[in-house]
Amino acid sequence: MDLRGLIKKIEIEMRLYKEFIALLHAETEAVIQRDYKELYTVIGHKEHVLVALERAIRERIADLDEVLADQAHTGDQALTGDQATLSALILTLPGSPIRDELSGARIKLQSLIDSAIEVNRVNTHIVQKSLDNVNKTLGFLGNLFVQDTYGPNGTVASMAVKGSRLSEGV
CB within 8 Å of 20: residues ≥ 6 apart: 46, 49, 50, 53, 116
pLDDT at 105 over 70: yes
Residue type, 86: L
pLDDT at 166 over 80: no
User: What's the sign of the alpha-carbon dihedral 5, 6, 7, 11?
Assistant: positive
CB within 8 Å of 75: residues ≥ 6 apart: none
Fold (topology level) of 3-122? Methane Monooxygenase Hydroxylase; Chain G, domain 1 (1.20.58)
DSSP for residue 161 = -
pLDDT at 56 over 80: yes
**Residue of 74 and 89 predicted with greater confidence:** 89
pTM of the model: 0.72
Domain spans in the chain, listed from the N-terminal domain onward:
3-122
